[in-house]
Structure 1
Amino acid sequence: MKAAVFVEPGKMEVKEMPKPKIEKSTDAIIRIVRACVCGSDLWWYRGISKRESGSFVGHEAIGIVEEIGKDVVAIHPGDFVIVPFTHGCGRCAACWAGFDGSCLNPTEGVNAR
């Protein structure tokens, strides 16, 4: 798989990386179809904020679920998903109103039962 990697301010590279593996029962592997650059990614690129060379960049995307851990219940292989900057529980009043960044249960994630 390809990944965007921060090298130094003003320099990024696309590198071939091994396919990720399920490590925890709550993990999911998403095949990214489209990704975007977030303003926070640009802080490191511009040298405004420190970032370790060789670290991955990007945290907002859309894609297809390829594999899930045994405790994942809200998504299934083949599902089309949005990978937002914030991750709410999907069930509280804040999430239902579209403000998952203000989630009342942020540690529950989308797999809350």
Structure 2
Amino acid sequence: MQAAVFHGPGDIRIENVPDPRIKDPTDAIVRITHTAICGSDLWFYRGQQEYQPGWRVGHEPMGVVEEVGSEVSHVRPGDLVLAPFAISDGTCEFCRKGLQTSCVHGTF
């Protein structure tokens, strides 16, 4: 597959990288069809925030589910999905209150 890879301020390249694999039963593999540039992407691109060379960049993608782990029950291959800027588990106290950006198991 291809990914956008950060090499330094002002230097992001599209490169071939290994295909993803299901590691955990809650994983899903999504073939990205569209994505957007977020304002936070510009911080490291402009050199205003530290970012490790070699890291893959991009978030808030849209795509098609290609494969799911054995415990995934809410999506299946072929489904169209999107990933918001914050990833949450939907089960913790904060998520149940609608505060997904405060999820104790989440990430950005």
TM-score by length of structure 2 reads 0.84
Match of 2:96 in 1: 92
Distance 1:51 1:39 in 2: 15
Q: How do residues 30-45 of structure 1 correspond to structure 2 at under 5 angstroms? A: 30-45=30-45
Distance 1:63 1:76 in 2: 12
**Code of the aligned partner of 1:38:** C
Distance 2:19 2:84 in 1: 21
Shift of 1:86: 1.1
Shift of 1:41: 1.3
The answer for unaligned runs of 5 or more in structure 2 is none
Aligned length: 102
Shift of 1:102: 4.5
Aligned structure 1 segments of 4 or more residues deviating by more than 6 angstroms: none
Distance 1:107 1:8 in 2: 30
| Cα RMSD for the two superposed structures | 1.8
Shift of 1:59: 1.4
**Code of the aligned partner of 1:29:** I
The answer for unaligned runs of 5 or more in structure 1 is 109-113
Between the aligned residues of both structures, percent identity stands at 43
TM-score by length of structure 1 reads 0.81
**Code of the aligned partner of 2:72:** V
Match of 1:111 in 2: none
